[in-house]
Structure 1
Amino acid sequence: MRQVQSLFVGVAAVIALAASAFAAQPKTVDDRFSGSAWPADVPGFVPVQGGEHPRLLFRKTDLEKLRQRMNTPEGQAIIKRLRVQLNGSDGMSMPKIGAPAKAAGDEEGGEAGIYSFSHVAGFGLLYQLTGDRRYADLGRQCMEKAFEGVPNFDTRYGFKNPNGALRAGPSLGWTAVGYDLCYDGWDEDYRVKVARAIAEYNPGKWMSLPELVRGDRQHPGSNHWGMIVGGGALAVLAIMNDPGVDMAKIGPLLKASEQSIKVQLTQGWGSGGFYVEGDGTGSMSSHIALLTAIQAWRVAGGKDFYTPRPYAQWMNMKWFFLTALGGNPANFRASFPERGEYPHNIWARTGLSGGGYFGIGFGVATPEQQAAMLWFYNHSGLREADAKGGFGLDAPSPYPHHSVLAYVNWPVGMAEKNPGEVLPHAVMDDKAGFYAWRNRWQDAGDVIISILTRSVRGNYGCKAENTLTIQHAGKKTKWGTITGGFKSDFAPAKDGSTVMITGDGSCLAIDFSRASGADALLVMTGPGAPGSGSIDAGGTRFSILALGGKAGQPRAEGGKVIIGGQTILWDGKRIVLGVFGSKPAQ
């Protein structure tokens, strides 16, 4: 189910920088890493046979272990929520049909128990876990509703009449997951009927199966594209080699899907998880269908797009790196340094575009990353909020597939691990010129620093910033002036401490060693240094910001500034910290 490598690709590698801005990204692979095949072959992979199901999220060999989860508190909580999502109560009857009343401006709003594009998948999981064919029959009835043209409760989505390719991709993809999970509970004629409907899918211009798989509509810099090619990937993997499927047509689409995913990861995203349109649009691109397609490629296709490269890893892990602790779990957007368009999607857990960050992400993460994500879920207030709301685990949205993924992917029985022991404390995204630092994962006193130094653009874009954004103690503040980005190599210490030269010759030092007594110490010299909090030493003016802890009073002594056990000096080229990365500087 999770045949993954423990490798976590470092982001401190020296990488060539991308062009500063572009609109329609080319549909060519822009992989800047070498030394290993990508996607990698999954070790020990056994090829899927025609008519073999389930295959997308897990294989038959995983089923007994998944059934055992029904006896755990986690499994029981998730299944209880799934049943409510299916019919509003016990999951043993058909959902209501029709769109619920929505608040003004709320396009995604829905209610648990109303028909959606992932109801077939929800009933399919119950069939797999219980062996009770009533659930496969309910899945079949929902599939018939899809064929009849019944829309999702968000009526922009639907198998038969989706509103454009961006809605067709997820509508088809999650229907295909339902086919996969219900397959063994349907008769042969119905299996063939559904397989052919997926293979011949074409509800309108730009929305045929080949067009979705290739991503003919839009480009990797559009938030639509991950939804389009991700849904197409789920569809072709679901039906490959099955009875009724013409592999002369589907075979080439499998190769096209591999190419599309590589293009999406390397053109729309960079090595540090920054999407060219920003965070809210990136959440749509990554989490509605793409990350689950990457999981399905590993499980059903034997190809690992995740661990050999940093692109998808940081697409997944950025949310847990950049989100501050201590905030309101119902409004984690306020705890995140939002950039770009559609910021309402950030941590929008009650909907499709920002829901399921854990249930989806666990399905692709390495074991160590899973342990770090589990720590974040347990210590962020989200576990308590979900329990109080009756949302199972990470499933406050009405969509059944969020509970399906949580059930299959949750690392039940795994010991949590503080993210500071797993993730680097400093991250650089090569394509966007995005930099971020975090001193720890502990509480609201954590210090998170970030800046986008280069303008990037897809259909929407993000403008370059000239000041640092600092999240600390429940506040977001700005500090320093960064002109022309950073010109020196990105070479952080293990604790994230970094010294870098900016485009105008200023120098920024970020010190997480705590030698000064502060939890984080920022020091800057040159024209970009703030006027406040400055002290002169050896003819150089140092601007200093201490965050958290109990920093000593800065004092000049000879050519140095001394703060607690930390010394700061200018060597004529850059700032030198006496203690760098928790060790004395050499």
Structure 2
Amino acid sequence: MTFWYKTWIVYGSGSVRLEFYNSSNYRIGNEYMKSLSSNLTWTYVHIKRPVHNYAAFAKIIIRMYNSMGKVLMANISIEQVDFWQNTTFFVSPRRDGTIFIQWNFESNGIDVATYDIYRGKGILSALNYTHLLVTIPTMSLIGQADLGEGYHNISTLIALPRTNGIHLSWKLKASSASKHVTLYNGIDSISKISNDEAQLLGRYSVQDMKAIVSLSNTGPFLLVSDDGKDIATAKLASLTRPRIALTSTHLDFIREKINQPGHAQEVFKGLIKSVYAYQPDNSFNYCWPARDAALLYAITRDITYVHMAYVALNINRMNYTIYDKSAIKLRFSLSTMARAQAFDWAYDAFTMQQRQELMNDFQYAASIFTSYSDDHSRNPNDKASNWVGIVKSGELIQHLTLYGEEGYPDDQAERRILFLLNELKLHLDHSYGPSGYMQEGLSYLAYTLPILGPAVYLTKYMGISTFDEAWSRPDWHNLALHIISLRKRRNSLQFGVSDSTYSYNGFMPFIFNSTNDINIKAALKWLYDRTMGMNSSSPAYDGKDKSAALLYYPYEIAVQHPSIACPRSTSMISDNIDGFYAFRNRYQDQNDVLIALMNRNRRHGGWNANETFALSIISHDTTWARMPGKEFKKYNLTRKFSTPLIDGWPREPPKRKKLGYTKVIRSFNGQGGGYVSIDSSVNLNITLAQRDILVDMITRGNIDTIIAIHDQFINTLSHFWHWQLSPDPSETNITLGNENNLSTFIIRGRNESWLKGWLYNYQNATYNNTEEVLRVIKYGSSATFKIAMALGMGIEPVANRTATGIIIDDACIDFDALFLGLQCLTTTVITSTAVPDIKTPLIVIISVASALIGLVVLIIIVILIRKRINRNNRVSSMLKMKTNVN
């Protein structure tokens, strides 16, 4: 299909669609072709789409979605092409000045590494390097330059019932060399294959991608490739409704719980209040009250909620369209999920006409999802971006929810389901480290899980086990326990581009069931109740995701304190894959100490923060160290960085797999602290960047935690090296000073709390505390920072200098041996000007000399005391004699 178009649209947008009809004039397909937004220049469009089976004719449909403006189209041409065997080369200028180029060349068995694209006049022989625009690697090479690894996907099998039989569809991984697969019924393992003919369903070509077998087969089903290297299993999916998280048994359980005082009853009240009181700020957000009203109907069977859901869905439809903007595609996907959930939960109450109207929207969505693409999704070796998790989950939820409905493109859905299972499996593998850490931050983790979680659980309900292992691998539970504080503001430790407030909804409810460990659920439930639930200062029950708080909450598991139920919650988190380390001293109140250290050992696509050597610290109801979130990306302001800066600026980690690395880690027994040594020379693009950090969380008087840091920087060029800590200025104030030959800084926080620091090697260092940020600055081709900090409340501690470190009260820090933890090699205190590199022999000499002097003094004191005693004895005798005489 080709055409020229020009538009002038005041507001809104539109799209061009192609509808296919069969010989009975019944619409059998609906293909999205092109989005229309304001474009004042005549633009040429050339689009290829597959013709639907049984299509007899087609119609061009222009939809404007309540827009106002003008659309002009000219030279519209549609041509049916049966074969695309000839070389094709297509060029289209775009309104932003870029040129879209598409080509399809037959390789004839030749391995093509790159394509050179030239622009010029005349024949090829007249072109030279001056005409070369770009050299582009072939698709098989994309991503390898970044990650140095091949594209490994998975082999998948699905089993979906239809009226004409069970449709078994499969897709083998890209590296598979198999030509045929064998399908079995009634078994789920190679070890169970026998000579029983009833097991064997048949042998099929890999390229068939599907087999339709009798409905008498009940599964499970097993696929085995001819070389035995590809194995996949599937259970027969159930198409009963509701499908999404609400079996009849679960519905009865929820109804029972809402009639009892407690979590379910409070969430249920909140849902009712929200559907009546919620006032969305745009038509997109009407998808949430539509979903919640449908859930209330499923629970109560009150038809009033169905009317409310349908009205909200119609308002949401006004903005249910596509734009060429990544954020709008995310909204579209979230809206699709909510619409599918509402359709499923209120299905039996919708009229046939209402179902058909909603079905039209789902057909439209199914067609445009296939056209969705984004920079974050094109690299087959990097599916980490939240964009992949959200968009692919939204589409998968729709297909699994609508599959089997009259008029739904089931064949297309089967192909897309196989593709989407692979995409989301890769997203889970790429995006989340073993600790659950996500490069983009907690806000994006909590943004993605409310749609990724429902996709995973619906997939499992439909008999597909693709995500089972990948979903349970990230330790999100321990991550939540370490980073979410018990402050009233729901503050959390920062990483990625998140801010310091855990105001995000839908995180914990969706991870409750990513583990089968009852103790872990009990610990997470303890934290949830105190941050979002009944025992929190302001119960939110996950805001717009109250449905998740109602459906996924572990009602039958008794709450247990994390230190008892989950012992690893009291030890440091060590994620050497991503370079993420977290420490927590206890689980008690707003005075708990929470610390995070980031090193960025790898970098994915998607949102990326400059967080090499970054610190995030919360304790005593105060934020002592924070990061900028998206502020630096938007405004280039460095005031919120708690990380070293070079010449006043952070340095972006390069786009490669091997960045920073972890040298040594050591977890301290009996507490939440530990020692970490990390290197980030590659991240900062200098000769050496190394940090050694000690975190000791044993309470010592007024001190709850001691932090000691030894940073070393070396480069061939001279720089201004900024050691920066950024507390929340609304909660703190900074004071500088000196103490016992140590440079000090004190950050005072709420309720007489403090973070007191000592700069050991203060020589040639200056302070710059503008913007209420602590900066220690040194200049040269190298810089070393030896800094100790103590967190606590009440009377502030005093420190003394030693030859290799600092003594804080009775805690001894040796900057040359932080890996040993807090210890005292000598009790000698140096009160004169210190030389940082004093050697051990001198310490021994000083100690021996001090001991000898002390011994001499002690002898003198003993002699004097003895003389005094003898004199007293003589005086006593004289007094006695005088008494006798008298």
Measured against the shorter chain, the TM-score band is 0.5 to 0.7
Note if 1:228 corresponds to 2:391.
yes
Candidates 354, 357, 378, aligned match of 2:507: 357
Cα deviation per residue 1:335-354 (whole Å; 9 max; x = unaligned)? 3343444649x534xxxxx3
TM-superposed CA distance for 1:170, in Å, is 0.7
> Aligned equivalents of 1:150 and 1:30: distance in 2?
37
Task: Read off the aligned partner of 2:672 and give its amino acid letter.
Answer: G
- Deviation for aligned residue 1:215: 8.2
- Are the aligned partners of 2:529 and 2:536 in contact in 1 as well (CA < 8 Å)? no
Task: Read off the aligned partner of 1:83 and give its amino acid letter.
Answer: I
Structure 1 CA distance for aligned equivalents of residues 255 and 371 of structure 2: 36
Q: Which has the larger displacement, 225-234 or 487-496?
A: 487-496
**Aligned pair partner of 2:459 in 297, 305, 308:** 297
Distance 1:509 1:407 in 2: 42
Classify the secondary structure of the residue corresponding to 1:476: strand
- 2:667 maps to 1:488: no
The answer to whether the 8 Å contact 1:271/1:429 transfers is yes
The corresponding residue for 2:605 is 458
Cα 1:28/1:186, change in 2 over 3 Å: farther
Asked whether the equivalents of residues 226 and 290 of structure 1 are also in contact (C-alpha less than 8 Å), the reply is yes
Would you say the 8 A contact 1:29–1:262 is kept in 2? Answer: no
Q: Deviations over 1:252-283 (max 9, x none)?
A: 22222221212222333333333333444444
CA contact (8 A) 1:468 1:482 kept: no
Aligned residue for 2:365, secondary structure, equals: coil
Residues 1:135 and 2:305 aligned together: yes
2:289 counterpart residue number: 119
Q: Please identify which structure carries the higher strand content.
A: 2
Task: Give the structure 2 partner of residue 269 of structure 1.
Answer: 432
Q: What is aligned with 1:338?
A: 494
Change (3 A) 1:411 1:184: same
Distance apart, 1:462 and its partner CA: 0.9
Cα displacement (A) at 1:436: 1.7
- Report whether the alignment pairs 1:165 with 2:326: no
Checking the alignment, whether the CA contact within 8 Å between 2:337 and 2:394 is kept in structure 1 is: yes
1:510 correspondence with 2:695:
yes
1-structure distance, mates of 2:242, 2:428: 27
Give, in angstroms, the shift of residue 295 of structure 1. 3.0
Partner of 1:15: none
1:545 to 776, 789, 799: 789
The structural deviation recorded for 1:131 is 3.0
Q: Is the 8 A contact 1:117 1:159 kept in 2?
A: no
Equivalent runs, 1:37-186 vs 2, <5 Å:
47=235, 49=237, 51-73=239-261, 74-88=263-277, 100=281, 116-146=286-316, 149-151=317-319, 158=320, 164-186=328-350
TM-superposed CA distance for 1:116, in Å, is 0.8
| Contact 1:447–1:471 (Cα < 8 Å) also in 2 | yes
CA contact (8 A) 1:212 1:232 kept: no
* Partner Cα distance (2:454, 2:237) in 1: 21
TM normalised by structure 1 equals: 0.68
- Quick one: which amino acid aligns to residue 597 of structure 2? I
Distance of 1:186 and 1:76 partners within structure 2: 27
The match for 2:526 is 375
Q: For 1:76, give the aligned amino acid.
A: Q
CA spacing shift, 1:189–1:26, aligned 2, 3 Å: farther
Contact 1:271-1:310 within 8 A present in 2 as well: no
Q: CA, structure 1 residues 459+544, in 2 after alignment: closer, same or farther (shift >3 Å)?
A: closer
**1:176 Cα shift?**
0.8
User: Which letter maps to 1:297?
Assistant: T
Structure 1 residues 137 and 196: CA distance shift in structure 2, 3 A: same
Contact persistence 1:471–1:477 (CA under 8 A): yes
Structure 2 counterpart of 1:150, which letter?
M
Partner residue, 1:201: 365
* Compared CA separation, residues 209 and 245, structure 1 to 2 (3 A): same
- Residue 193 to residue 360, structure 1, CA distance change in 2 (3 Å): same
Gap regions ≥5 residues in structure 1: 1-21, 32-40, 89-94, 101-107, 152-157, 349-353, 580-586
In the TM superposition, residue 201 of structure 1 has moved relative to its aligned partner by 1.8
The residue aligned with 2:707 is 522
* Stretch of structure 1 that moved more, 185-194 or 73-82: 185-194
Contact 1:313 1:365 in 2 (8 A): no
1:9 matched residue in structure 2 = none
- RMSD across aligned positions (CA): 4.8
Q: Name which one, 1 or 2, has greater alpha-carbon Rg.
A: 2
- 2:160: which partner in 1? none
- Residue 408 of structure 1: aligned partner: 551
Q: Which amino acid aligns with 1:237?
A: L
Q: Distance in 2 between matches of 1:485 and 1:212?
A: 31
Matched with 1:154 is: none
- 1:443 counterpart SS class: coil
Q: Aligned-pair distance for 1:24? A: 11
Q: Which moved more, 1:358-367 or 1:474-483?
A: 474-483
TM-superposed CA distance for 1:433, in Å, is 1.9
CA distance, structure 2, for counterparts of residue 47 and residue 188 of structure 1: 30
Q: CA deviation at 1:181?
A: 1.0
Give the aligned partner of residue 483 of structure 2. Answer: 322
> What do residues 504-529 of structure 1 show as CA deviations (whole Å, max 9, x unaligned)?
66643222355898433334457589
The one-letter code of the counterpart of 1:394 is: D
Q: Which amino acid aligns with 1:520?
A: T
Partners of 1:27 and 1:263 within 8 A in 2: no
Is the 2:446–2:506 Cα contact (8 Å) retained in structure 1? no
Q: How big is the shift at 1:426? A: 1.9
* Distance in 1, Cα, partners of 2:590 & 2:612: 25
Residue in structure 2 matching 1:437, options 572, 575, 583: 583
Distance of 1:27 and 1:183 partners within structure 2: 44
C-alpha distance in structure 2 between counterparts of 1:477 and 1:551, whole Å? 16
In 2, are the aligned partners of 1:162 and 1:171 still within 8 Å (CA)? Answer: no
